[in-house]
Structure 1
Amino acid sequence: MMGDGVKQILARPIQLADQVTKLADGANSFRAECQELKAKTERLATLLRQAARAELYERATRRIMDDTERALDKALALVVKCRATGIMKRVLTIIPAGAFRKTSVGIDSSIGDVSWLLRVSAAGDEDGDTHLGLPPIAQNEPILCLIWEQIATLHNGSLDARADAAAGLLSLARDNERYGKLIIEEDGVGPLLRLVKEGPADGQESAARAIGLLGRDPESVEQMVLAGASSVFAKVLKDGPMKVQAVVAWAISELAANHQKCQEVFAQNNVVRLLVGHLAFETVQEHSKYSIHPKLTSTHSVVVNAGVAPSVESSSPTTMFHHPKGSQASRNQMHNVVQSVIVAKRQGVLFPLIPSTNAANGSHPHNSVSGGKGRELEDPATKAHMKAMAARALFQLARGNSAICKSITESKGLLCLAVLLEKGDDDVRYNSAMALMGIARVAEENADLRRSAFKPTSPAARTVFDQLLRVVENAEHSDLLVPCINALGCLSRTFRATETRIIAPLVRLLDDREFIVMREVLVGLTKFACTENYLHLDHSRAILNAGGAKHLVQLIYFGEQAAQIAALVLLSYVALHVPESEDLAQAEALAVLEWASKQAFMTQEAMLDVLLPEAKARLELYQSRGSRSCH
């Protein structure tokens, strides 16, 4: 708003106006026109001095002062010509017809623009319903002045007026992508973020939603991040009302979706931990057996009985507890607890991050992510929406980012997502499935993450596998099936040979399924059967034992082109690894591969260039034409 820079912008127009006023009195020709110009310039100078004492919106001030300077320069040139005498008068006073009229119109326009600027800068002191009208500068781009008006209100208005202005900018950003660009260019992001940080709840929601809509491309997202969006959002996620927190989580998901580089900035501002805390609220207490290591169960109960809650803020084991003021026995007890934790951490055991439940009074102590002291009193719909948006944000933040995935999996995040996939409502389940899929995709490419987060012996990992498999077995919700199948495929290298329950439910989905689900199943099963998977022989046999051969043959002959190719890839891997299979002989797999090798669109597929001939050769070696003919 008003600062030294804005005052400097006003200095030259004021000087020009004073010069025009002074020189107009000495005009030797066109005196009447000069006096009329003087009167209008004096009025403009008065308005400019009022503006110099006001709090102005800088972007609008710069644009208007540029036009005002041009109008005053033309006026000054005219009055200088009218002051000439003698020979110079005859030479210099050749003034084109209509010059005074055009100059006068320019001054009138500047008067209108500066008057509007003063009104819009003082709009916060007026009722929100007051219509300010459009200034002359708006003739070419009326929407720009509407944006200026809303941003100026965000700077100077009352809290209610600022909330209304945020809603107005939200509407503009939603309606048109170009309007969103203008809001960013006209410095609307800063005041929107201030409103998110300190406004009333409805204003915070509108402003946060506007920020999410404005971040449509990497360049725009960078503007949000540079303006401090990450720290503001972190503060709201920690202390704001839950409805506002849900919108902030949605906005984070939008920014991260449109520019992955912002993931690190959000992580540095503790956003990931805060989002996991929202997932954990009223989610994991009843599943504490998954998150409390057996070696620490007794230690945890001692802490709870002593009335001390563990803190996740400190990385030092000796500062994880606050010693209560009490007897020497209590202090000795706490010393023993700390020593136990130190030993446990040296052995690689993580202390539980989940807040405990006080069984004596049934209350839930607040964890570090308070989200407002009364969040237990929020209605169930708001709590569910908060979890859905937190999972949505975590999915986008974790996408392709191993460090953030590790942060989620090393906390209670993985368990929370699995529990919510089972017990949440539709949106919560879908976003939890997407988040699990995103983490699984990173784990597929990152062996360290795969080994640490998805060890078969890990209770949290077992819960994830159970819930993913339950969705696949039920096969009721197509929107859940796709991410769950994708996640199982990405985690294919984590399953042991004794884990035999995964393949059959996936194979069953090849029968009479919509294309998008069928495609995911084919891709997922291929990850189990491909040569890169250490257990490809076991998985290939499991696919055949589940009746996969006949499904694959039908898809290769009669499926859509993309399904045909995916099915052919899978069948080729299975044939390559277990060519002696009787199931392949009965399904006439060799005939299928021979037919496929003559189809141009199949042989041109890069993946099949080597794989198909090798699989065909293996089948020919193990299955004679005589044995095939008898079937």
Structure 2
Amino acid sequence: METKSSPRIPHTTLTIEEETRIQETLSFLILLSDRIRQAVDEARLFKFDCSEVGNKVDVISQMLRSAVRIATSGSGAVFYDRPLRRIAVDVTKNLEKALTLVKKCSRRNFLCRVVTIVSAADFRKLYALLDSSVADMNWVLSICDGGGGGIVLTLPPIASNDPIVSWVWSFIASLHMGQLQDKVEAANELTSLAKDNDRNKQIIVEEGGIPPLSKLLKDNSSLEAQIAAVTALYNLANSEERVRRIIVDLGIPIIVQVLGDSPMSVQIRVANLVATMAKYSPLAQDDFARENVNRPLVTLLSFDIFPDDPMIRVGKQTFESIMQINKEMEKNLHRPGSSVGSSKVGNNRRERESEKPEVKLELKISCAEALWMLARGSVANSRRITETKGLLCLAKLVETEHGELQRNCMMTILEITAAAEANADLRRAAFKTNSPAAKAVVDQLLRLIQESDNSWLRIPAIRAIGSLARTFPARETRILRPLVEQLSHGNQDVAAEAASSLGKFACPDNFLCKEHCKSIIEFKGVPPLLRLLRGNEWAQLHGLILLCYLGLHAGKSEALEQARVLNVLEGADRTLIAQHPELKELISEAMYHLNVYHSGVLPQRQSYAP
């Protein structure tokens, strides 16, 4: 039974500032215990039972006083009070029931004593409740004793129906107050729980597991501890809400710092954490951009690109700027207030040089994936990558590498070009025609389009070229010709992607659309385009759009007349047009222009009627 005098025990989702100070909660419970002791001394009925209640309450009172001493010890470790708060709720209820029952036994008036309904069964029930409180308090003191005893895996009565919560409490308490090895073990145990299911992840986050994990990650005195912490955070960061909690707990500055100044084995895992956070949260993308995480990622990706490589000679100054990035990073690590000294920087450099090739490859794969996820849909991160000369590094790796690293670099380029397509400032800054980095990227895209046997590389390369359509001059035949050739590709998805990219050259939004349309026709793009109209819906859609653009901007072409494009448009698939209503007006415009040139008379403009 809860009285009006009981403290309000907050829900676990409240912030620390909103919660009652734990010392105040414990002080109230101690006062409540003293009131019960006084009531026991005044009892007139069931004196033996009341005395037993008093003994049990005395035990609880001593435990509460011990908890106050631990909470106010000022030992330097953060006192983790969440389990104590939750247990205090039940202890409060049980002590209030004890006070109510014992007071009923102190009635002096005979009539009140006669009508008082108290039985031995009431005391038996109360004993069980107080015993549970003793066990709960004993358990919580065992996990809050400064960590000397290590992780506690026994279950308190309060957690009998949900043991996961008590385990999470124990592990987080060890992270806060345990010895270093206890913290490592606790982080690994949280990782195991997080891997089981999303409910466990949510419990870990809600019970305050992120701050001590971030603190453990920041502690560069132990490689094992950093790996344990970042692995746990990685397994928690697979939802937007949990990533947001990492951000709120100021985890991103720590992550960026650790990425820049840690050994490779840690950097690999931190890069993976960056990738998964950026994947699930646009907010994380923005915050990582503000912290400029792209700079250390590009630096790690390019640490063994040497200046004697022919690819780098395309732009010597560009490579020198990459080397400058490395120098600037090391300079930043030496600045006042930096936690990393010159000896650590030197050790990390030597560690990178002597590391096994497979470890170096794993680090590059992780960094490239992180850049991919950061750039995806983000103009800010795409701009940051290009400002750190990341384009040249990505182009180099696309040329020389294979497998997952090559694919991750290609997908990063694809996202940057998509951002450039949507943002004119980025497009003009990063993909100027005289830029060595831009030229290197375009060269590799064209190489993949013409030479790659893998559609998972060829298709992104075609799409990236299409995103850059507005950056190429009118007679850039080395760009358009390979795209037109892909219209005849045996893989219909490749051919459809080529039609989609060519559509960006030929669309009215492109200032040079007329010149590009003439070039597409000149490179004999019409016949394979007509064959594409017999393919699947995706191929038909983009083939039909491109054909309309050719009719709009190059309707005078004899090639269009000889191919009877006007008849083709008139017989376009009605079902496709019904599914894509925007095609109706486009087809009408194209048919009008074709009629103007091919019939010799000015026709009356009519809407296309499928």
Same structural fold, with TM-score higher than 0.5 when normalized by the shorter chain: yes
Q: Does the Cα contact within 8 Å between 1:81 and 1:89 map onto a contact in 2?
A: no
Q: How far does residue 413 in structure 1 lie from its aligned partner after superposition? A: 1.1
User: Letter of the aligned partner of 2:570 in structure 1?
Assistant: E
Q: How far does residue 310 in structure 1 lie from its aligned partner after superposition? A: 6.2
Of residues 84, 96, 117, the one that matches 1:61 is 84
Of residues 448, 454, 462, the one that matches 1:471 is 448
| Cα deviation code 1:524-570 (max 9, x no counterpart) | 1211111111222332233334443233322323x222332222111
> Aligned partners of 1:400, 1:415: CA distance in 2, in Å?
21
> Aligned partners of 2:121, 2:559: CA distance in 1, in Å?
96
**1:366–1:579 distance in 2 versus 1, CA, 3 Å:** farther
**1:202–1:571 distance in 2 versus 1, CA, 3 Å:** farther
**1:519–1:54 distance in 2 versus 1, CA, 3 Å:** farther
Q: Does 1:46 align with 2:62?
A: yes
CA RMSD of aligned residues (A): 3.2
Q: Does the Cα contact within 8 Å between 1:240 and 1:372 map onto a contact in 2?
A: no
Q: What corresponds to 1:348 in structure 2?
A: none
Aligned length: 562
Q: Does the Cα contact within 8 Å between 1:525 and 1:570 map onto a contact in 2?
A: yes
> Aligned partners of 2:344, 2:47: CA distance in 1, in Å?
79
Q: Does 1:109 align with 2:132?
A: yes
Q: How far does residue 429 in structure 1 lie from its aligned partner after superposition? A: 1.2
5 Å-filtered alignment, 1:613-628, equals: 613-623=588-598
| Cα deviation code 1:463-515 (max 9, x no counterpart) | 00011111111232222233322211111111122321223333343445556
5 Å-filtered alignment, 1:190-339, equals: 190-198=211-219, 200-283=222-305, 285-287=307-309, 288-293=312-317, 311=328
SS class of match (1:54) = helix
Q: What corresponds to 2:337 in structure 1?
A: none
User: Letter of the aligned partner of 1:408 in structure 2?
Assistant: I
Query: 5+ residue gaps in structure 2?
Result: 1-15, 72-78, 333-341, 601-610
| Cα deviation code 1:585-619 (max 9, x no counterpart) | 444322221111x6043145233132111112222
User: Letter of the aligned partner of 1:581 in structure 2?
Assistant: S
Q: Does the Cα contact within 8 Å between 1:274 and 1:369 map onto a contact in 2?
A: no
Q: Percent identity?
A: 38
Q: Does 1:612 align with 2:595?
A: no
Q: What corresponds to 1:71 in structure 2?
A: 94
Q: Does the Cα contact within 8 Å between 1:537 and 1:578 map onto a contact in 2?
A: yes
5 Å-filtered alignment, 1:405-484, equals: 405-484=382-461
Of residues 16, 24, 49, the one that matches 1:8 is 24
> Aligned partners of 1:366, 1:489: CA distance in 2, in Å?
48
| Cα deviation code 1:78-120 (max 9, x no counterpart) | 1111111114632773236733222222111111111111222
Q: Does the Cα contact within 8 Å between 1:277 and 1:369 map onto a contact in 2?
A: no
**1:422–1:366 distance in 2 versus 1, CA, 3 Å:** farther
Q: What corresponds to 1:391 in structure 2?
A: 368
- Is 431-440 or 513-522 further displaced after alignment? 513-522
Q: TM-score, normalised by structure 1?
A: 0.81
SS class of match (2:433) = coil
Q: What corresponds to 1:341 in structure 2?
A: none
User: Letter of the aligned partner of 1:157 in structure 2?
Assistant: G
User: Letter of the aligned partner of 2:202 in structure 1?
Assistant: K
Q: Does 1:137 align with 2:158?
A: yes
User: Letter of the aligned partner of 2:88 in structure 1?
Assistant: M
Q: Does the Cα contact within 8 Å between 1:197 and 1:204 map onto a contact in 2?
A: yes
- Is 103-112 or 371-380 further displaced after alignment? 371-380
Of residues 459, 475, 478, the one that matches 1:501 is 478
> Aligned partners of 1:85, 1:602: CA distance in 2, in Å?
93
> Aligned partners of 2:433, 2:150: CA distance in 1, in Å?
64
User: Letter of the aligned partner of 2:255 in structure 1?
Assistant: F
> Aligned partners of 2:174, 2:252: CA distance in 1, in Å?
24
Q: Does the Cα contact within 8 Å between 1:40 and 1:107 map onto a contact in 2?
A: yes
Q: Does 1:486 align with 2:456?
A: no
**1:372–1:226 distance in 2 versus 1, CA, 3 Å:** farther
SS class of match (1:57) = coil
> Aligned partners of 1:473, 1:486: CA distance in 2, in Å?
14
Q: Does the Cα contact within 8 Å between 2:150 and 2:174 map onto a contact in 1?
A: no
Q: Does 1:181 align with 2:181?
A: no
Of residues 134, 148, 153, the one that matches 1:125 is 148
User: Letter of the aligned partner of 1:579 in structure 2?
Assistant: G
Q: Does the Cα contact within 8 Å between 1:280 and 1:412 map onto a contact in 2?
A: no
SS class of match (2:282) = coil
SS class of match (1:501) = helix
Of residues 160, 176, 191, the one that matches 2:181 is 160
SS class of match (1:509) = helix
| Cα deviation code 1:358-401 (max 9, x no counterpart) | xxxxxxx9998985552211211221222222222222323344
User: Letter of the aligned partner of 1:571 in structure 2?
Assistant: L
> Aligned partners of 2:490, 2:63: CA distance in 1, in Å?
72
Q: Does the Cα contact within 8 Å between 1:490 and 1:527 map onto a contact in 2?
A: yes
Q: Does 1:404 align with 2:420?
A: no
> Aligned partners of 1:456, 1:122: CA distance in 2, in Å?
66
Q: Does 1:21 align with 2:46?
A: no
> Aligned partners of 1:290, 1:622: CA distance in 2, in Å?
46
Q: Does the Cα contact within 8 Å between 1:472 and 1:481 map onto a contact in 2?
A: yes
> Aligned partners of 2:95, 2:317: CA distance in 1, in Å?
78
Q: What corresponds to 1:100 in structure 2?
A: 123
Of residues 570, 583, 591, the one that matches 2:546 is 570
Q: Does the Cα contact within 8 Å between 1:504 and 1:543 map onto a contact in 2?
A: yes
SS class of match (2:478) = coil
| Cα deviation code 1:431-488 (max 9, x no counterpart) | 1112111111111122222112111111111100011111111232222233322211
Q: How far does residue 291 in structure 1 lie from its aligned partner after superposition? A: 4.6
Q: How far does residue 518 in structure 1 lie from its aligned partner after superposition? A: 4.3
Query: 5+ residue gaps in structure 1?
Result: 316-364, 626-631
User: Letter of the aligned partner of 2:550 in structure 1?
Assistant: V
| Cα deviation code 1:151-190 (max 9, x no counterpart) | 1121122322222221222222232222222111111000
> Aligned partners of 1:442, 1:87: CA distance in 2, in Å?
87
Shift >6 Å, 4+ stretches = 312-315, 365-370
Q: How far does residue 74 in structure 1 lie from its aligned partner after superposition? A: 0.7
Q: How far does residue 258 in structure 1 lie from its aligned partner after superposition? A: 2.0
Q: Does the Cα contact within 8 Å between 1:290 and 1:459 map onto a contact in 2?
A: yes
User: Letter of the aligned partner of 1:620 in structure 2?
Assistant: N
> Aligned partners of 2:58, 2:331: CA distance in 1, in Å?
66
Q: How far does residue 624 in structure 1 lie from its aligned partner after superposition? A: 5.2
User: Letter of the aligned partner of 1:93 in structure 2?
Assistant: T
